[in-house]
Amino acid sequence: MPEIIEELRARARALGFAVCRVARCTAAPHGGEFGQWLDEGNAGEMGWMERSRERRMNPGKVLAGAQSVIVLGMSYWNGQSKIENRESKIPKFARYALGEDYHELIEGRLHELDGWLEERGGVQKCYVDTGPVLERDFAALAGVGWHGKSTMLISQELGTWFFLAEILTTLEIPADAPAQDRCGSCTRCIAACPTGAIDAPYHLDARRCISYLTIELKGSIPIELRALIGDRVYGCDDCLEACPWNRFARASNETALAAREGVRMPLRELLELTEEDFRRVFRGSPVKRLKRRGLLRNVCVVLGNTGGPEDEAALERAARDPEPLVREHAEWALGEIRQRGN
């Protein structure tokens, strides 16, 4: 159906997507490497990846009769090198988490495209990084970008600051050409990783990744990795920020992605959040999936790394928190601060 591709792209642009390209629905090009990565234990506690292993390797098992994978990209670059705040002790949140939850923002727009494709006889399944699809494989196959040595996708048009979404469809739409790998000899992303999680080009041990440790890991953060987290409360952008292709990043026009109140709060204010406060401040934010206990755990680690005597009272209160996870990390932070003061 070559006649629909330009209208599809026009509709995607009107919905705020900076990129819309198509890949043929086939087995994921790096499915074998993904399976080996799982077998090595690199996914840590992300058990859903193992449970959906076969479907991730072959989207035909996700949607019977799928012919094409429509890949969409939406920029979330805010055009700023940092967030300005009223105090110096401000935690770092990954850029994608500064505003509204992108899942909810994008899902509604995918639904509009789904309805339009349905009118043309297609059956679809739509995902915003929550479905069993190796999305970066198909984004590279469609020419949206290429696999960087950090394992993140890099776009010649958008740099590294963009969300990916996919529509699997039974419509046969002409496929685009893959993008050329343009990393060359650059290894800036590998050098930038604070924990050495990028342990080889194109290979990430998620168990050492700060994004995994501060978001996906639900229990205690390994003591030997806590100091390496630095001032990062939610995720880490270091490998993304290091990429020289970000000189082409396009500022997003999505007002919903602008920084919210919660990500501007000083550390001690975050540590004082009650359950009710947390739900109010982070309603509609990606941070809500961390839950209060996870956020306060991370804040304690950051204060253990960056705090001083003025933070001890707040940490002492946290050390009496009903949540054992919070108490443990608060006690560790107090020990770190007092050791520095000796």
* CATH number of the CATH domain containing 302: 1.25.10
- Does residue 85 surpass a pLDDT of 60? no
Q: Could you say which of 138, 169, 200 is where a domain stops?
A: 169
Q: Could you say which of 169, 202, 232 is where a domain stops?
A: 169
- Does residue 342 surpass a pLDDT of 80? no
What amino acid positions are annotated as catalytic residues?
A: 129
Judge if 162 and 17 occupy the same domain. Answer: yes
In a domain, 70, yes or no: yes
Least confident of 75-84, 236-245, 247-256: 75-84
Output the pLDDT for position 89: 67
Q: What percent of the chain has pLDDT over 90?
A: 90
Rounded CA separation 148/190 (Å): 10
Output the pLDDT for position 1: 65
In the structure, what pLDDT confidence band is assigned to residue 32 with cuts at 50, 70 and 90?
very high
Residue 46 burial (C-beta neighbours within 10 Å; 0-12, 13-18, 19+): middle
Judge if 157 and 292 occupy the same domain. Answer: no
Rounded CA separation 68/59 (Å): 10
Judge if 14 and 160 occupy the same domain. Answer: yes
In a domain, 220, yes or no: no
Q: Could you say which of 117, 148, 169 is where a domain stops?
A: 169
- The residue assigned the tokens 């982070």 is 282
The residue type of 137 is D
Judge if 161 and 269 occupy the same domain. Answer: no
Output the pLDDT for position 91: 82
Judge if 123 and 269 occupy the same domain. Answer: no
Average pLDDT on 141-167 reads 97
Rounded CA separation 282/264 (Å): 12
In the structure, what pLDDT confidence band is assigned to residue 79 with cuts at 50, 70 and 90?
confident
Average pLDDT on 259-286 reads 94
In a domain, 63, yes or no: yes
Average pLDDT on 181-188 reads 97
In the structure, what pLDDT confidence band is assigned to residue 81 with cuts at 50, 70 and 90?
low
In a domain, 216, yes or no: no
- Does residue 40 surpass a pLDDT of 80? yes
Q: Per residue in 291-338, pLDDT tens?
A: 999 999 999 999 999 999 999 999 999 999 999 999 999 999 999 999
In a domain, 36, yes or no: yes
In a domain, 112, yes or no: yes
Average pLDDT on 270-284 reads 96
Its domain, for residue 314, covers 265-342
- Does residue 28 surpass a pLDDT of 90? yes
Rounded CA separation 85/263 (Å): 9
Output the pLDDT for position 253: 87
Computed over every residue of the chain, the mean pLDDT equals 94
In a domain, 151, yes or no: yes
Residue 92, strand partner residues? 232
Alpha-carbon distances of 330 from 109, 147, 222, rounded to whole Å: 42, 39, 14
Judge if 124 and 11 occupy the same domain. Answer: yes
Rg (CA), the chain: 21
- Does residue 155 surpass a pLDDT of 80? yes
Rounded CA separation 57/51 (Å): 12
The residue count of the chain comes to: 342
Least confident of 9-13, 232-236, 256-260: 256-260
Output the pLDDT for position 86: 42
- Does residue 239 surpass a pLDDT of 80? yes
Q: Domain tally for the chain?
A: 2
Judge if 158 and 287 occupy the same domain. Answer: no
Report phi then psi at 117, rounded to 5: -70, -35
Residue 340, strand partner residues? none
Average pLDDT on 161-173 reads 97
Least confident of 4-13, 71-80, 171-180, 195-204: 71-80
In the structure, what pLDDT confidence band is assigned to residue 84 with cuts at 50, 70 and 90?
very low
Q: Per residue in 117-148, pLDDT tens?
A: 999 999 999 999 888 999 999 999 999 999 99
In a domain, 214, yes or no: no
Output the pLDDT for position 90: 75
